[in-house]
Amino acid sequence: MLRRDLLTAAAGAAFIFRPPRAAGANDRIGIAIIGLGGRGKDHLDEFLAIPDVELVAICDVDRLALERAQAFIRKAGRKPPRQFTDMRELFESKDIDAVSMATPNHWHALGSIWAMQAGKDVYCEKPASHSPFESRMMIAAAKKYGRVLQVGSQSRSLPHKREAIRLLHEGRIGEVYMAQGLVYKRRKSIGHKPDSAAPATLDWNQFLGPAPFRPFNELRFHYNWHWFWDTGNGDMGNQGAHQMDVARWGLGLPDSHDGLKSVVSSGGKYVYDDDQETPNTQLATFDYGRKQIVFEVRGLLTPRVGNVDGQSPRCIGNVFLGSEGFLELDDSGYRVYHGEDRKPAAEAKADDSVSETRGHIVNFLDAVRRRSPETLHAGIEKGATSADLCHFANISYRVGRKLTWDAGAGKGAGDDEANRLMRREDRAPFLVPERV
């Protein structure tokens, strides 16, 4: 039997667990980057710029992506890392301490679980998971194997956002009762394209992984995989995963679904006639009793709200409403307004010289060295809870009704159709395990 066949046969089984490698504060950390698309390229930039990190390996199902990454690494004057097209082979390498998971959403959970079973720590891009079931399994795996698992919600490491949330928690605008999440990010139509043969450089079967098998289509590859339910979660779970996390954070909600009463979401795909499956306009409301999240996604032309995102043609950020005023927060900074006359009370601009991702990765690496998951700014419990709210909104949208949350059962109350969408039926042998 060929090595590749052996790997495929073992894909659904747990890797042999390797205990955490003892690491001193000054040890170099061996890193592998899995997924070399747009976000993976950002990870490559960041890890190459951080001292005491050795880029040991890179992995992508597209050989062209590997070639581009290697060229970039050589240009940076760094030693070319080993390269893989199958992440399972990469996990066997003992000199890899941690992996950066920059794959499409449908691979986040399985890839992270495999990595943790192989004794690796994980920096996983947002959203943490593709479904609520995957969220639970990721949390369970991190606990069982004692791994450090950071989710790429880098807002939690940005100084001006941390300061803004501190002001909210200190009562600067009184009792905070609502968080608005705004994702007015312009998305143009993807059009129509027929199925075709996959490029010779691409392992399409590996790209699909746990997703249902479908013939190759250019629109289901590269960035547009976000707009198909098999692989993505629409902009609610794409850009919206950031603003959802900030909304939860600012309201001081727990890293669980305690207190959640119901979720309702509506919308549609307006204006365009194309192959996209996910909505380009979506409104969701999350009821926590005395607190509420109202979230809006709009990919069409739209006016901005307040001063969020300054004068740019988009509007991405959060607005927090309190008994004494409100606070606007986005990547450019924050602004606080008080009283009936909305008097400006405080503001701060973001430091444009600070990388949006660098501090978050440094926080991850520090936790890896110290073996201290509790010091993560966005550990898996936080990231999974925020991802789940995006999933709940999408499920409500897809079934066309409000979900009443049953906290005891951890699912929608009396809604079998909605609860079936809490978990995808994975494609063998790429199975997210029910027990880790």
Domain extent for 276: 159-191+228-352+386-412
- H/E element, 123: strand 121-124
Q: Let me know if residue 80 belongs to a domain.
A: yes
**CA-to-CA distance for 256 and 298, rounded, in angstroms?**
27
Q: Answer yes or no: do 13 and 59 share one domain.
A: yes
pLDDT digits (tens, 9 = 90+) for 387-429: 999 999 999 999 999 999 998 788 888 999 999 999 999 999 9
> How many domains is the chain partitioned into structurally?
2
Interval 31-42 mean pLDDT = 95
163 and 143, same structural domain?
A: no
Q: What is the mean pLDDT of the chain?
A: 93
Please tell me the predicted confidence (pLDDT) of residue 310.
Answer: 65
Per-residue confidence (pLDDT) for residue 205, from 0 to 100: 98
In a domain, 288, yes or no: yes
- 174 within domain boundaries: yes
What gap in Å lies between CA 423 and CA 134, rounded to an integer? 7
% the chain with pLDDT above 90: 87
pLDDT bucket at 229, cuts 50 / 70 / 90? very high
Query: Do 44 and 93 lie in a common domain?
Result: yes
pLDDT of residue 13: 43
- For residues 150 and 270, membership in a common domain is answered with no
Q: Tell me the one-letter amino acid at 167.
A: L
> What integer is the mean pLDDT of 42-71?
96
The pLDDT value given to residue 304: 81
Per-residue pLDDT, averaged over 276-302, amounts to: 97
Above 50 in pLDDT, residue 2? no
Q: What is the structure's pLDDT at 311?
A: 62
Q: Do the domain assignments include residue 277?
A: yes
Whether 197 is covered by a domain: the verdict is no
pLDDT category, 385, cuts 50, 70, 90?
very high
| pLDDT average, residue stretch 324-346 | 95
* CATH number of the domain that residue 398 is part of: 3.30.360.10
- Across the range 235-260, mean pLDDT stands at 97
Q: Is 137 within the bounds of a domain?
A: yes
Q: Which of helix, strand or coil describes residue 107?
A: helix
Global confidence as pTM: 0.93
Q: Using an 8 Å Cβ cutoff, are 405 and 263 in contact?
A: yes
Q: Is there a single domain that holds both residue 68 and residue 133?
A: yes
Does a structural domain hold residue 304?
A: yes
Following DSSP, what letter does each residue of 304-349 receive, concatenated?
--TTTTTTSS-EEEEEEEESSEEEEEETTEEEEEETTTTEEEEEEE
Based on the domain organization, do 12 and 126 belong to the same domain?
Answer: yes
Check whether residue 30 and residue 152 sit in a common domain.
yes
Q: What is the pLDDT of residues 342-371, one digit of tens each?
A: 999 999 999 988 888 999 999 999 999 999
> Residue 120: which CATH number?
3.40.50.720
Answer yes or no: is pLDDT of 57 > 70: yes
Same domain, 97 and 134: yes
Do 13 and 144 belong to one domain? yes
pLDDT tens digits, 63-88: 999 999 999 999 999 999 999 999 99
Residue 294 within a domain: yes
